[in-house]
Structure 1
Amino acid sequence: MTQPRKPSIEECDAAITRKGGPFELETIMHNGVQEKFWVQGLKTMRELVLDGLPRGGDAVMVNAPVPEPGPKEERIDTTFAQVWARSLALAVWLRARGVRKGSFVAIIGYNSVEWIVSWCAIELLGAVPVMVNAALQPEPFAHCLNITNPVVVLCDAPSAVMCGRVAPRLKNVGPIFSFNEHAWLDKSCKVPVIDLTTLKAAKEDTDDIVSGNGLGLHDFGPESDGVIFFTSGTTGFPKAVLSNQRAALHNLHSGKFLMARTAMRMGAPADMAIQFAMAPPEKQSVALLCIPLFHATAGEGWLQKLIHMNQKLVLLRRWNVADAVKACVDYQCGVIGGVPAVVVAIIQHPDLPKDHKFESTLNGGAASPARLANDLRTRWPDMSIAVGWGMTETNALTTAIVGDDYVARPKAAGWPMPFVDIKIVDPETRKELPRNTVGAILSRGPNNMTCYYNNEKATRETLINGYVDTGDAGYLDDEGVMYISDRIKDIIIRGGENIASEEVENAVYTDDRVAEAAAVPVPDDMLGELVAVAVSLRKGCTATPQQIQEHVHNRVRPHARPAFVWVSDDLLPRNVNGKLVKTDIKKIVGELYAKHLARAKM
């Protein structure tokens, strides 16, 4: 029997985005360029919070471990109503400390209810959350605060201690407050503590927050500043990625669109596909969040869906696969995702019951193992499986592929969203290349960042005529599906964590024995890539790989610690201009690392 023809992506997108429907597109201006974007959908994150939190009521919003130093096994449920009340009280408190529309307010910490309350309170004021990576070492940690100059800093206990240590280096940074007790970590830390569970505010003040009375929001809208995340760069220091409300919020409506596109690809008529995508959930879904909220995938896609769809979010204190599996079982988590390494670790763990049911997963942030799609489909035939590609500068979701299409193309990054234009160009000439030809990936759309805040040079180099130069190499096939094939920027991606090679190299160069250093990626089945380092030594010096690793260990964040070091007897490969040839070094180190693994298995 002949199978019915599957509609093309172009046919699906044209039918779903038709005029008058919930996914209609309109022309807007973004970064000086005409773009297409959703007509409908929420316009600001303040609107998201005002709508979603009160609607959630007494349903549990977050299940999380008690704050440290309490045992991680002791957990607390927090309802939408409780998060709503605490967010309003904190918004009043922040307003009393000078926070206004467009003010930068830093949040620093690992996943917690307090982090989420802080984010919601900042958005209620039309202010801009500055989400600092809590895993940073002192120098880049201080750098993030100094280039954004937040008027207030809210942080967890470990970050409060770090703030205290770097305080002498901070310039034009407002007062710092911890939403957790920190004496158990460092009794000398002077950062004041606020208890968000007991913070109170007068009703007339919270009413003003809800109504917007006196908040100066008359010109607040989709083009207002929305969020700042930080991304690793080839300088080794994070760059502050500023995006407007529209770009930061696009994941919510774009995710619904993907559901409609997938339904049409499966054979549903356009009207039925749209109705399916827009229907409210029949029951509350339970999602396990294993990636930090200070990354765009979690801090936008997961957090926004939590609020808008009234999900229940289960948090871990830190990533640990045994804890993740236990949480899945104890709280019947049906949604998992983030980076592929997280999903692989969970589904392969022996403690996961054979009959545990997962409803959906969306992976991104790093390359997926080729077998992952088929493994998921085989074990959970009814599970919605997807992979997406994006970056901090494109506010996460930019391309995606779902369901049978993903199983058929397990190494694909997916089709672009209907408002995204992907261009493949020659890295040198910048001329557009034909289909199935590998080149530099450029991405244009209203989901792109506004700029690298306080870094005009980097903005000019990365954002050109509306296109973000992604630093990735890849191609579009005959059907317009994008594939990632390599990386042009000098970045290592370990389990979704971007690590600038220079960040590692700078730490290695503090070892006086080292003459040359080059950090390169080596492949890893679980995390995608690990950090490896090639070094040559100064004349007369000796050092073992283990000694180099020991020297670097406390000078970089945990993700950036080298898993393998090659100490070369000769100078490292260089070109005629004297520049280290990373491609040659990567090949040598990769071969040596493969032999190292083979020996380890013997």
Structure 2
Amino acid sequence: MVKWSDDILKELHKEEVSGIPLKVYSNRPQTLTETLEESARRFPDKEVFITDTTTITYREFQKRVNNVAYQLQHRFNLKKGDRIGILLVNSVEFAICAYAAAQLGAIGVILNTKLKAKELQYMLENSGARVIMTNPQWWGHIESIRDAIPCEAFFVTGETVPEGTLPFSELDSQEAPIMVSAEVKEHDPIFIMYTSGTTGLPKGAVMTHFNFVHTILNYVNCLELKDTDRTLIAIPLFTISGLAAQLATFIYLGASCVLMPQYDKREMLRLVEEKQVTHIMGSPTVYMMALAEADYQSFDWRSMRRIVYGGSPMPTDVIETLKKWLPQVVLTNAYGLTETTSPTTLLPMEYQLSRKETVGIAVPNGECRIVDPDTGKDCPPGETGELVVRGPFVIPGYWRNEDATQKSFRNGWFHTGDMASMDEEGFIVIQDRIKDMINRGGDKIFSAEVENVLYQHPKILEAAIVGVPDPVYGEAVKAVVVCRKGHSMTVEELLDYLKPRLAKYKVPKYIEFTDQLPRNPGGKVVKHLLRTI
């Protein structure tokens, strides 16, 4: 079995958490607040946030976090365990709200800015959020449901705020006379993030300080991150990758975050050069779109040393193009879920090219098994089954949803719902979501296998494979394809390409060409939207 370095492993020891033996970091902060306090002490005048219009130091950030925490505590009587809705774009205000909630011992309810009013209503009702922080552009959604949600106060950023709301600056700019403190312990909840399920109501994943701290330490140790690093946060902070893998990790380090309000491929190319970014994280689409720009090589990315990708398979040609353009960069595949507070596996740097088809091995304090989804028995090496994981980064369960918690969290193991295989060395290949696996008359078809063949075609930019109803076989294979700019192809041309490369039953019965694939904010393709014929 491939293992992480002895320097990392010696930092771990076994500890029982709720009766479950877990590998935990021995010398760890207890709370997210502690990580900010330490970085502000070490680097008071260092830039923690950099935008196109401003910078903010650790000293200033900590002061503004405390100002907000004080106002919420003393003016609005928020206390430990209360919920604070956060519906904000990537911004200093987002970070202030998240860390103010942590300092109060409150729970930040992290909301997706792409959701509509009814979706937000369910989450705010379910969480019982007492206040909400938002930007002017989302206020219309909140205003339309304000009588149906439990929020008692509405804070809006910007100089002029709508009637019936309060300016966020009232919290942010009034200096607190004391430092706010609360009796917060490491197993106390810190955030609720709602999963983007395709069926049923979304589930509120409850994360603890303990979960976040172990995620942070996994990223710092495995990626060899330093306080001199500078990350570009181009993905939304309301995703677990943006919030945990970038924001919380880099604040723990005392490093710097360059904030993009929303992803734009040319802005990303420019900002890396202009702000001397050393680290970036995103779905494969983030990089594919940037590399599709004809002049991408005219941007100077020599400062970059670590590129992390995940969320879906990275096409081989994209990996090769990145390495050719940026030979100094280490490419790291990361696999994780909201329920695992980001990384479950990471690809060690020495295997970045030789095992690029995998998502790497279990993080140092994690355990992974492949089990038969019907019997729960372990599968032999190389055989496909459901990936189940255990570790201090796995959340305790879902908010006010005991049925869903018991279904997904069993005997200390989280059942991911992902079909995968693991070889004798511990490298894991993700095949498909269980619900996305196609069963064509008893033949099991994993979409990733067919998608990988499609991605090798020089005219194809993006592709997705889904199962659609079939009167004879139960399910049939459908391909949805996006061609590269300036290229087109016919169904017959694509079939001629696929037939020599795939078993007959894997060749798509239906092929659809489109301008873009529907994606969620984390960059994953929303496949249920493609299952029409």
TM-score range, shorter chain: 0.7 to 0.9
- Superposition pairs of residues 233-272 of structure 1, within 5 angstroms: 233-259=197-223
| Structure-2 residue corresponding to 1:4 | none
Find the counterpart in structure 2 of residue 317 from structure 1: 261
Task: Summarize the Cα distance change of 1:597–1:256 in structure 2 as closer, same or farther, 3 Å threshold.
Answer: closer
- Output the amino acid matched with 1:94: L
**Which residue number corresponds to residue 144 of structure 2?**
165
C-alpha separation between the residues in 1 aligned to 2:437 and 2:268?
28
Q: What is the letter of the counterpart of residue 25 of structure 1?
A: H
Distance change >3 Å, CA 192–CA 491, structure 1 → 2: farther
Aligned residue number for residue 419 of structure 1: 365
What's the counterpart of residue 419 of structure 2?
Answer: 473
Where do 1:7-86 residues align within 5 Å? Answer: 9-10=2-3, 12-13=4-5, 16-18=8-10, 23-30=11-18, 32-65=19-52, 75-86=53-64
Given that residues 231 and 241 in structure 1 are in contact (C-alpha distance below 8 angstroms), is that contact kept between their aligned partners in structure 2? yes
1:293 aligns with 2:271: no
Kept after mapping to 2: 8 A contact 1:58/1:79: yes
CA 440–182 in structure 1, closer or farther in 2 if over 3 Å, else same? farther
Matched residues in 1 for 2:230 and 2:373: separation?
44
Equivalent residue number for residue 79 of structure 2: 100
Equivalent of residue 508 in structure 2, options 577, 582, 591: 591
Kindly state the Cα deviation for residue 463 of structure 1 after the two structures are TM-superposed.
0.9
1:134 pairs with 2:113: yes
Question: 2:27 & 2:94 partners in 1: Cα distance?
Answer: 29
CA contact (8 A) 1:340 1:527 kept: no
Q: Please say if residues 479 and 512 of structure 2, whose CA atoms lie closer than 8 Å, have aligned partners that are also in contact.
A: no
TM-score, scaled relative to structure 1:
0.72
Displacement of 1:456 = 1.2
Indicate the residue corresponding to 2:343 in structure 1: 397
1:130-279 alignment to 2 at 5 Å?
A: 130-170=109-149, 172-181=150-159, 190-195=164-169, 199-203=173-177, 205-206=178-179, 209=180, 212=181, 215=182, 217=183, 220-259=184-223, 277=224
Instruction: Give the direction of change, closer, same or farther, for the CA distance of 1:17–1:317 in structure 2 (3 Å limit).
Output: closer
Amino acid at match of 1:394: T
Q: Partners in 2 of 1:466 and 1:420 — Cα distance?
A: 12
Report the alpha carbon displacement of residue 89 of structure 1 after superposing the two structures with TM: 0.6
Find 1:90's aligned residue among 68, 74, 79.
68
Could you tell me which amino acid in structure 1 is paired with residue 191 of structure 2?
V
- In structure 1, what is the Cα distance between the partners aligned to 2:467 and 2:324? 38
| Matched-pair contact (CA < 8 Å) for 2:467–2:478 | no
Match of 1:124 in 2: 103
Aligned AA (1:44): T
Note the 1:461-540 alignment, pairs <5 A: 461-489=407-435
In structure 2, how many angstroms separate the alpha carbons of the residues matched to 1:531 and 1:87? 45
AA paired with 1:146?
E
Residues 181 and 338 of structure 1: CA distance in aligned 2, closer, same or farther (over 3 Å): same
> In the TM superposition, what whole-angstrom CA distance separates every residue of 1:183-226 from its partner, at most 9, and x where no partner exists?
5xxx6x532222168621343x23xx2xx3xx3x1xx3221112
Alpha carbons of structure 1 residues 423 and 116: separation in structure 2 relative to 1, 3 Å: same
Tell me the number of residue pairs that the alignment of Structure 1 and Structure 2 aligns.
472
Deviations 1:453-480 (A, max 9, x none): 0111111111111111111101001211
Whether contact under 8 Å (2:371, 2:377) holds in the other structure is: yes
Do the aligned partners of 2:195 and 2:338 also contact (CA within 8 Å) in 1? yes
Paired letter, 1:77? T
Which residue identity does 2:44 align to in structure 1? G
Aligned-pair CA distance for 1:352: 4.4
The answer on whether the counterparts of 1:242 and 1:450 sit within 8 Å (CA) in structure 2 is yes
In the alignment, which residue of structure 2 is the partner of 1:353? 298
How far apart are 1:80 and its partner, in Å? 2.1
3-state secondary structure, aligned to 2:29: coil
2:70 partner amino acid: V
Displacement of 1:164: 0.8
Q: Which amino acid counterpart does residue 336 of structure 1 have in structure 2?
A: I
Q: 1:201–1:597: structure 2 CA closer, same or farther, 3 Å change rule? A: closer
Which residue number corresponds to residue 573 of structure 1?
470
Paired AA for residue 425 in structure 2: E
Do the aligned partners of 1:225 and 1:245 also contact (CA within 8 Å) in 2? yes
The one-letter amino acid of 1:80's match is Y
Q: Secondary structure at the match of 2:123?
A: helix
Q: Distance in 2 between matches of 1:99 and 1:240?
A: 21
Post-superposition Cα deviations, 1:365-385, rounded to whole Å, max 9, x if no partner, equal 222112333333332222122
List aligned pairs for 1:376-387, cutoff 5 A.
Answer: 376-387=322-333
Change (3 A) 1:586 1:596: closer
Contact 1:440–1:473, Cα closer than 8 Å, also in 2: yes
TM-fit CA distance, 1:491: 10
User: In the alignment, which residue of structure 2 is the partner of 1:337?
Assistant: 281
Q: Which runs of 5+ in 1 are unaligned?
A: 1-7, 66-74, 260-276, 493-519, 535-571
**Offset of residue 332 of structure 1:** 2.3
Following superposition, the deviation at residue 588 of structure 1 comes to 9.8
Contact 1:325 1:352 in 2 (8 A): no
* Structure 2 CA distance for aligned equivalents of residues 15 and 47 of structure 1: 24
* Counterpart Cα distance in 2 of 1:124 and 1:341: 35
Partner in structure 2 of residue 557 of structure 1: none
User: Is the Cα–Cα contact under 8 Å of residues 49 and 124 in structure 1 kept in the other structure?
Assistant: no
C-alpha contact 1:234 1:490 (8 A) present in aligned 2: no
- Mapped to 2, the partners of 1:234 and 1:460 lie a distance apart of 20
CA distance in 2, matches of 1:382, 1:448: 33
Would the aligned equivalents of 2:220 and 2:249 in 1 still touch at CA under 8 Å?
no
